[in-house]
Amino acid sequence: MISVRQLTKQYGSNAVLRGIDLDIAAGEFVVILGQSGAGKSTLLRCMNRLVQADAGTLTVAGMDAIACCDTRALRQQVAMIFQHHNVVPRLSVLKNVLTGRLGAVNTLASVLQLFRREDIDLAMQCLQRVELAHKAQQRTDSLSGGQMQRVGIARALAQRPKVILADEPVASLDPKTSRLVLQYLRDATRELGITVVCNLHQVDYAREFGDRIVGLAHGRMVYDGGPDGLTEDVLHRIYPGQEPEAEDEQATAGLQVRYAN
pLDDT tens, residue by residue, 146-189: 999 999 999 999 999 999 999 999 988 899 999 999 999 999 88
Specify the number of domains making up the chain.
1
Cβ neighbours of 114 (radius 10 Å) = 11
Residue 258 lies in a domain: no
| Sequence-ordered list of residues with C-beta below 8 angstroms from that of 132, at least 6 positions apart, any chain | 93, 147, 150, 151, 154
Residue 18 lies in a domain: yes
Residue 207 lies in a domain: yes
Amino acid at the residue 118:
E
Burial 157-175 (b: 16+ CB within 10 A, else e): bbbbbbbbbbbbbbeebeb
CB 75 within 8 Å of CB 16? no
Specify the pLDDT at position 101.
Answer: 86
Does position 250 have pLDDT exceeding 50, yes or no?
no
Residue 261 lies in a domain: no
Query: Rounded to an integer, what distance in angstroms lies between the CA atom of residue 153 and that of residue 127?
Result: 9
CA atoms within 13 A on the CB side of 257: 11
Specify the pLDDT at position 112.
Answer: 53
Amino acid at the residue 243:
E
Residue 260 lies in a domain: no
Specify the pLDDT at position 104.
Answer: 65
Tell me the percentage of the chain whose pLDDT exceeds 70.
88
Lowest mean pLDDT of 53-57, 187-191, 221-225, 231-235, name the range. Answer: 187-191
Residue 75 lies in a domain: yes
Provide DSSP, the chain.
-EEEEEEEEEETTEEEEEEEEEEE-TT-EEEEE--TTSSHHHHHHHHTTSS--SEEEEEETTEETTT-S-HHHHHHHEEEE-TT----TTSBHHHHHHGGGGGGS-HHHHHHT---HHHHHHHHHHHHHTT-GGGTTSBGGGS-HHHHHHHHHHHHHHT--SEEEEESTTTTS-HHHHHHHHHHHHHHHHHHT-EEEEEESBHHHHHHH-SEEEEEETTEEEEEE-GGG--HHHHHHHSTTSPPB---HHHHTT--S----
| Sequence-ordered list of residues with C-beta below 8 angstroms from that of 241, at least 6 positions apart, any chain | none
Query: Rounded to an integer, what distance in angstroms lies between the CA atom of residue 24 and that of residue 26?
Result: 7
Residue 110 to residues 103, 134, 214, 225: CA-CA distances in angstroms? 8, 25, 37, 42
| 150: containing domain | 2-252
Average pLDDT over residues 118-141: 95
Specify the pLDDT at position 86.
Answer: 84
Does position 253 have pLDDT exceeding 60, yes or no?
no
Cβ neighbours of 132 (radius 10 Å) = 24
Task: Using pLDDT thresholds of 50, 70 and 90, give the confidence band for residue 141.
Answer: very high
Specify the pLDDT at position 256.
Answer: 36
CATH code where residue 207 lies: 3.40.50.300
Residue 259 lies in a domain: no
Task: Using pLDDT thresholds of 50, 70 and 90, give the confidence band for residue 244.
Answer: low
The rounded mean pLDDT for the chain is: 87
| Among the listed residues 102, 242, 226, 79, the one whose alpha carbon sits nearest the alpha carbon of residue 153 | 79
Residue 257 lies in a domain: no
Bigger pLDDT: 85 or 2? 2
Q: What is the pLDDT of residues 6-38, one digit of tens each?
A: 999 999 999 999 999 999 999 999 999 999 899
